[in-house]
A and B are shown apart, each in its own frame.
Chain A
Amino acid sequence: MQDQILENILLGLSVAISPSGLFYCLIGVVLGTITGIIPGIGALAAVSLLFPITFHLAPTEALIMLAGIYYGTTYGGSTASILLNLPGTPSSAVACLDGYPMAQKGRGGVALFMTTIASFVGGSIGILVLIFLAPMIISVAFMFAPADYFSLILLGLIMTATISGGSVVKALIMSVFGILLGVVGLDVYYGSPRYTFGILHLYEGISLVALAIGLFGIAEVIASIGKMVPVEMSRDKLRMRNMLPSREEGRGSIAPILRGAGIGTILGALPGTGGTIASYISYAVERRFSRTPDHFGKGAMEGLVGPESSNNAADQTAFIPTLTLGIPGTATMAIMLGVLMIHGINPGPRLVVEQPALFWGLIMSFWIGNLLLLIINIPMIGIWVRILAVPYKILYPSILAFVCVGIYSINNSVFDILVVVAFGVVGYGTKLLGLPLPPLLLGFVLGPMLEEHFRRAMLLSQGSFEVFVTRPISGAAVLIMAVALLYAMVRFVLSNSEKNRTI
């Protein structure tokens, strides 16, 4: 077994470190970083542009390049989120929550540095799990039936209902609003259009990137009108020394990074979830574990590094369901499956055995790629941070232009630009009303999955709710939920009666 793993690693390295392997990996991660930083242009646009080139490449080289773009955008996406509040990719929207406040306090350099480290550690842990546990991960997917998915997602939503810290009622309102936005489009089971108002463009739902960019970035631009105070940018701040976190922060980040990596590794391996959900769950978990949950949303380091580590770990393990079961977790993964398809390689559990050079070469190239990203990104931090010193009258119009181009490029759709504008206005409204955005995003991402699995479970059980408690995984989740809810209620009653007594 150990010999086998060593042999696989060596085989993988020989492919990944070969001149052509390195070359395509470098192209991938550089392009990925760039497209990730430009708001709205995600991995999908870059990958589909390069897709025709892959006809002329060997499948391993093609996949190494496209994979580099895929996880490279996750790195780059955080940069735009932290510095400009513009999530370049769906999973990096979480980085806006605490990364942007840090940048506003002049600590953008530290935020970027820690993000890069967290991403690297998360990615590396994901890869280690891939190497040692790949066969186990494959079988995990079969253990989860629709009822289990439903209960776990519901558990996630309930556990994070208090994610915003402030008013629970406001948080619940925003979760439900998020779920409502998430169900816009054609119903999976009957195909009936819901909340589409007869607009064909809404048949496939609201794009997460358009929603996030509107809520965060555009709302920010609107809010800044009239109070243009650029971040102070002294030469001093750009020194390497000032990009390092304090000893305390560094130590405090270790646990969140490891927890994030754990969450990401598991969620990435579950078919169809991927990095986006992993980063939201990690954010919620960090808030739960934090001794100072009030700091979240105001520049808490844990709220930044946990999710960043998580989505990078998930990006790696997400290749397991994609390559072995043919499930594209994301649109980008769908293109990578397409690359396999045109080279006559069918996804399946046997791919690992039949194409060892491809599989292990790809995995080892992930690690090389992550290393390259680390090397590329650390020296670039100083340059990126300088963006903040650009006067707003130049910076904001160019951001708006980039957003328009980027959003248009995803689906070649002008309608998506209008979606961004609409959510910019909504985002500004929530700012004025003090409504929290994390529950909305979580509801938007998880709501449709919750519904899909619930209805699938009910169809299969022919309307019996029993499945939710008789299946072990689902049953355990339901039990935890019941205990958590009961605990919350008891605490509420007790604290109220205490209050009454003191009056």
Chain B
Amino acid sequence: MSKKLLGGIAIAAVTLMGTMAVARDYPSQTIRLIVPYAPGGQGDITARLLADRLTPRLGQTVIVENRPGANGVLGTDVVVKSDPDGHTLGLVVASHVLQRGLMANLPYDPIEDVAPVTLTTRTEMVLTATTTLPVNTLPEFIEYAQERPGQLAYKSAGQGSNTHLFGAWFADAAGLDMIHIPYSGSGASHPDIIAGVVHLGFDTVPSAGGLIDDEQLSLLAAAGTERMNRWPDAPTIAEAGAEYGLAEFSAGSWAAVIAPAGTPEDILNMLYEEIADILEDPEVIERFASMGAVIAANTPKETAAIFREEEALYTDLIQRLDINLE
């Protein structure tokens, strides 16, 4: 018994020393920042902007590695199964916390297997409608749709994407009976919503901004909790739709840097401080602002709490609205 106990203590001590040693000379090699999505999207660009700035600060090259596939599951799986020594990091977007609700055979636990470093940015979303309908405001749209149950359609960037979830949530909360039409990506839906084939949809600001300014799409509301600088006259969904059961509604996305669970806390904190510092640079703020993203820079603990909270909310919604894959 005592032998076992001693052995346990010895192992614990060795592990602890090992951890401390890792932390002291961290980073000792190239750091991989895995992006579980294809190049070019919001998550990918965020990762590349950070890697560009992190490299000189850490004294080790930070390489962005795209591992797209299965809606981000493949790449995230690589991150969570890597050595938790801070040399493998990941950059995930908000769909990370939808995964468990959508996929029965998820090969990891999106909360327990992940050690969040920081929420880097939050991305604003907009609710837009086609200009072919005689409506210009959110209440007008809702009333128009109420009179035409089952005849109007909302679009999304794909089955089980966050734009699908928000569309379904919106229709449910406002009591609308609408058809869901998924597209492969947000851009692919634009011709159809402009032409009035589909009628409503959630989009990110960079994706729909040009079309809103050109009056090809009509901006019904800001989807988040606050109005946007770019279109200060547009109300939020919660403001304009309060009478229609939308007072609690808020939609948006974010990007976060994660590490595998078990990564030493001092490494997480060190990375957090470096990234938070980068995110204070006016040029970086400007870059993100032009992508419709605002700096978040939450601490590892705050980020973990956000993950838990949003996962609980979304998993509940996914089940209630019967959104599923397979």
Contact = CB atoms under 8 A, between A and B. Distances in A.
Interface of A: 44, 47-48, 51-52, 55, 141-146, 186-193, 198, 200-201, 203-204, 271-272, 321, 325-328, 331, 334-338, 341-344, 346-351, 411-413, 452, 456, 459-460, 462
Contacts of A342: 45, 49, 287, 290-291
B187 A325 contact: yes
Contacts of B71: 186, 203
B306 interface: no
24 contacts: A48-B40, A51-B39, A191-B160, A191-B326, A198-B105, A200-B69, A200-B107, A203-B71, A271-B191, A325-B191, A326-B186, A327-B190, A331-B40, A334-B39, A334-B41, A346-B206, A346-B210, A346-B211, A346-B213, A349-B210, A411-B68, A412-B67, A413-B69, A462-B150
A462 B102 CA distance: 26
B111 interface: no
A163 B190 CA distance: 34
Interface stretch (B11-19, B83-91, B192-200): B192-200
B23 interface: no
Contacts of A335: 39-40
Contacts of B40: 48, 51, 328, 331, 334-338
Contacts of A190: 159, 325-326
A188 B210 contact: no
B158 interface: yes
Which of B105, B179, B206 neighbours the largest number of chain A CB atoms within 10 Å of its CB?
B206
A44 B150 CA distance: 41
A52 B33 CA distance: 14
Contacts of B291: 341-342, 344
A195 B258 CA distance: 32
Given A198-B105, A342-B287, A346-B213, A193 B68 contact: no
B278 to A, nearest CB: 13
Contacts of B44: 338
Interface of B: 38-42, 44-45, 48-49, 51-52, 64-71, 73-74, 77, 102, 105, 107, 150, 153, 158-160, 179, 181-188, 190-192, 194-195, 197-198, 205-211, 213-214, 216, 287, 289-291, 324-326
A338 B45 contact: yes
A48 B187 contact: no
B190 A326 contact: yes
A350 B185 contact: no
Nearest to B55: A52
Contacts of B48: 51-52, 55
A341 B43 CA distance: 12
B24 to A, nearest CB: 30
Given A191-B160, A338-B40, A325 B190 contact: yes
Nearest to B51: A52
Given A271-B191, A411-B69, A350 B214 contact: yes
Given A188-B158, A203-B69, A452-B184, A141 B191 contact: yes
A284 to B, nearest CB: 25
Contacts of A201: 69-70, 74
A146 B67 contact: no
A351 to B, nearest CB: 6
A349 B183 CA distance: 21
A204 B69 contact: yes
A203 B70 contact: yes
A460 B198 CA distance: 8
Contacts of A144: 191
Given A193-B326, A331-B38, A334-B38, A200 B184 contact: no
Contacts of A350: 210, 213-214
Contacts of A326: 186-187, 190, 207-208, 210-211
Contact of A191 (B67, B179, B324): B324
Given A348-B214, A411-B69, A189 B182 contact: yes
A466 to B, nearest CB: 16
Contacts of A191: 102, 158-160, 324-326
Given A338-B41, A342-B291, A350-B213, 15 more contacts: A142-B195, A192-B325, A204-B70, A271-B188, A325-B191, A325-B211, A326-B207, A327-B190, A335-B40, A338-B39, A346-B208, A348-B213, A411-B66, A411-B67, A462-B150
Contacts of A193: 325-326
A201 B77 CA distance: 12
Contacts of B45: 338, 341-342
* Central interface residue in A51, A326, A331, A413, by most chain B CB within 10 Å: A326
